[in-house]
Amino acid sequence: MGGGAALIGRTAIPVRYFDLSPLLATLTKTPGVGGVFFPFRYSFPVAIGLRLQTGSDRLFLCFPANFQLSTVRSPCAVSSTGHGTLTTAHFPSDATRNRLHWKVEHRAAAPIVRPAQERMPETLPSLVIVGRPNVGKSTLFNRLTGTRRSIVTNEPGITRDRIYGKAEWRGRALEIVDTGGLVPDDKALIPQEILRQAHVAIKKAALLVLVVDSQAGLTPLDEELARLLRTTGKPFVVAVNKVDAMSQESNANVFHRLGVPVFPIAAEHGTGVDDLLDSALAQVSVVASVEEEKQPDVIEVAIIGRPNVGKSTLLNRLVGEERSIVSPIPGTTMDNVDLEITRDSRAYRFVDTAGIRRKAKTTLVAEKLSVVMARRGLERCDVALLVVDGEQGVTQGDAQIASYAEESSRSVVIVINKWDLAVIAARDAASRDAATAKGKAKRAPGEKHKPENFDSGRMMVEYEKMIRAKLKFLSYAPIVFLSAKTGERADKLFPLINQCWEARRRRVSTPVLNNWLKDEVDLQRGTTPKARPVRIYYMTQAKIAPPTFLIFTNQKEPLHFSYQRFLENQLRAKFDYVGTPVRFIQRLRKREKRNTGGEGDRDE
């Protein structure tokens, strides 16, 4: 390392030099590179110029003497997107003109880039979309996030919960929040819950976007919502939606009466959305967009079930906040509600899905779409929590939803919700039966019935037998009895989710599998109607999630289901594949043809 001074224009500044020749040693030996100028940009707010000259064996990096070397990246990681100008510089005393050298030059208005070692903010600034029902909020949300997360139909009041997404614009990132249609004066349960959910999002917002309908004009409800947003103290703008042509932009003039910036947009086509995002970037402190890396350790958990079995209540209980709207009205949840939490240093992403019902029971378009999105949420998860109403027991609808989870090869945990109510109902039924003549005859003379002697543990065992009989194809799924409302036994869910996820991703080595198959499994015990005995020559695990095993046998036809079930049970007992399906792929092992010789071996 050496020192010196660099002449920048007419100003000489102290600089330091570092010999970086080993990093580009191959370039110095490449013929024809003399006089070539390559602009580079580093993580510090200065421009770097590289000049290559033939006949050199050393490379010098020059930058201000007070600059910290810890912020300099490897030259192999720089991108050739910057621009710089090479001017005359003073070289170290032992350097000649015919050498490779880098020269630092200050810019008048160089953009400041975040140093490489500085951590980015963990939370993004939040842009919250609000407005009255059916003005296009969900359409704008889908346009900004580039997804189809929110259900969009002509029916008002579809969005109810808060829907979160991420938007990227001009290299910057924003969190986008879609809220339900606001009607402050509506005293019904669901509108009041929508308003409460919107208030939660508004408190954390960096910018509010009030969406209005240009075709309907400025309505009293729009003015009331504008007054409500003004009282929050948050900055907000007005997005005049449904301006589909240039001739319709005059419809947005009336909204200037609200006294805030107005942006005519067409959310469905994307017209004017760029101006809205430019204004948002100017008003909030946004951070640079960073490409997201896939996090394989995040456990995806989908909460599925029929309508009104307590899925949203269970989500709120698991995450510890009122994230999803809860009401006794079936079908309250329409969109999938995603939420990420961390518990015991492990990350979870919960998805509260809409209640899945039969097609004949769905009349609105939004209900049909919600069922489709619930199926999508199921297909992208690792573990599915099948929620069953404990008072009603396992119905045909529950069995159908369970088949969806089994067909999609998801790990399953059967959750019997409202167990406290089921126990109370069973105790009351036992008291009524004891009061009848038949019940009195079962007791000794003078003995009275005591409701406190009701055995809930025995009821749990009998209930589990009933579930196993109705859901035979989910014999591997663990069952947990809980009450999402009171939190009783809810703490047992997280260990079960972890256990199912670990089993789903468990891989067994081929030697261990074949040793187990040879030493511990009696293949003759497997019942099969075939006259030819089954022989398994070789077994290996092809993939995980779900565990899939490739077996080589002497059978041309697929193995009988009873034999596969026997092999699966033996496999689960040995390697603890709890809660996850196990798949088999069968291959016929062909005999090698023997070369016995023939006419082809004779001399012609």
| Same domain as 465, residue 397 | yes
User: 136 near 178, Cβ under 8 Å?
Assistant: no
**49 plus 94 within the same structural domain:** yes
Among 322, 373, 321, residue whose Cα is nearest residue 351: 373
Examine the pLDDT at 200 and tell me if it is beyond 70: yes
Per-residue pLDDT reduced to its tens digit, 368-417: 777 777 888 888 899 999 999 999 999 999 999 999 999 999 999 999 99
Q: Mean pLDDT lowest for which of 95-99, 340-344, 480-484?
A: 95-99
Does 558 lie in the same domain as 463? no
Buried b vs exposed e over 254-285: b needs ≥16 C-beta within 10 Å?
ebeebebebbbbbbeeebbbeebbebbbebbe
8 A C-beta contact, residue 178 and residue 127? no
Q: What is the pLDDT of residue 360?
A: 61
Same domain, 308 and 277: no
Sheet of strand 548-553, all strands in order from the earlier edge strand to the far edge? 536-543, 548-553, 583-588
Report if residue 67 sits inside a domain: yes
**Among 237, 262, 288, residue at a domain's last position:** 288
Question: In this predicted structure, what is the pLDDT of residue 579?
Answer: 93
How far apart are alpha carbons 272 and 356 in whole angstroms? 37
Show the CA angle centred on residue 283, arms to residues 277 and 289, nearest 5°.
55
- Let me know if residue 523 belongs to a domain: yes
Q: What is the pLDDT of residue 53?
A: 39
Chain-centroid distance of CA 364 in Å reads 28
| 215, part of any domain | yes
* Radius of gyration, CA atoms only, the chain: 34
159-171 mean pLDDT: 84
Of 386, 358, 409, nearest in space to 470 by CA: 386
281 in the same domain as 306 = no
Residue that is written with structure tokens 């201000």 in the block = 64
> 264 has which bridge partners?
240
Q: Are 149 and 163 in contact (CB under 8 A)?
A: yes
Q: Average model confidence (pLDDT) for the chain? A: 75
Confidence tier at 213 by pLDDT (50, 70, 90): very high
Tokens 């942006």 -> residue: 263
Q: How confident is the model at residue 187 (pLDDT cuts 50, 70, 90)?
A: confident
Percent of the chain that is helix, strand, coil (3-state, to 5)? 35, 25, 45
Torsion (CA) 532, 538, 543, 548 in degrees, nearest 10: 20
Asked if 519 contacts 536 with a C-beta cutoff of 8 angstroms, the reply is no
Closest CA to 75 of 43, 110, 32, 120: 43
Report the amino acid identity of residue 155. E
**Strand pairing partners for 388?**
416
Residues 374 and 413 in one domain: yes
Q: Does 345 lie in the same domain as 478?
A: yes
Task: Note the Cα 323 to chain centre separation in Å.
Answer: 16
Residues 309 and 429 placed together within one structural domain of the fold:
yes
Is the residue at 448 inside a domain? Answer: no
Residues 408 and 522 in one domain: no
- Report the range of poorest mean pLDDT among 399-413, 447-461, 571-585: 447-461
Gap between the Cα atoms of 316 and 326, Å rounded? 9
Residue among 280, 287, 283, 247 nearest 263 (CA): 280
Confidence of residue 230 (pLDDT cuts 50, 70, 90): very high
- The pair of structure tokens assigned to 487 is 């939190």
Last residue of a domain, one of 51, 73, 105: 105
- Per-residue pLDDT, averaged over 585-591, amounts to 76
Q: Is residue 496 part of a domain?
A: yes
Rounded to whole angstroms, how far apart are CA atoms 102 and 67? 15
| Cα(237)–Cα(281) distance, integer angstroms | 13
Are 100 and 140 in a shared domain? no
The reply to whether 378 falls in a domain is yes
Mean pLDDT of 166-193: 84
- Direct distance between the N- and C-terminal alpha carbons of the chain, in angstroms, rounded to an integer: 81
Separation CA 378–CA 406 (nearest Å): 11
Q: How sure is the predictor about 515, in pLDDT bands with cuts at 50, 70 and 90?
A: very high
Q: Which residues pair with 338 in a beta bridge?
A: 351
Q: Is 10 within 8 Å of 27 (Cβ atoms)?
A: no
Same domain, 79 and 218: no
One domain for residues 28 and 151: no
Residues with Cβ within 8 Å of 512's Cβ and at least 6 positions away in sequence, in order, are none
pLDDT tens string 423-450: 988 888 888 877 787 777 777 777 777 7
| Phi and psi based region of residue 418 (left: phi greater than 0; alpha: psi -120 to 50; beta: remaining) | left
pTM of the model: 0.66
Burial 338-361 (b: 16+ CB within 10 A, else e): bbeeeeeeeebbbbbbbbbbeeee
- Residue that finishes a domain, picked among 288, 319, 349: 288
Domain annotation covers residue 337: yes
CATH assignment of the domain containing 541: 3.30.300.20
Residue 446 in domain: no
At 160, the amino acid letter reads: R
Phi, psi of 155 (to 5 degrees): -85, 125
- CATH (domain of 136): 3.40.50.300
- Pairing state of beta strands 411-417 and 479-481? parallel
In contact, 506 and 423? CB cutoff 8 Å: no
Which residue range is the domain that position 197 belongs to?
126-288
Residue 61 banded pLDDT, cuts 50, 70, 90: low
Nearest 5°: the CA angle 401, 300, 140 is: 90
Q: How far apart are CA 135 and CA 149, in angstroms?
A: 17
Q: Are 16 and 91 in contact (CB under 8 A)?
A: no
Cα gap 193→199, rounded to integer Å: 10
Structural domain count, the chain: 4
Chain-centroid distance, C-alpha 339: 8
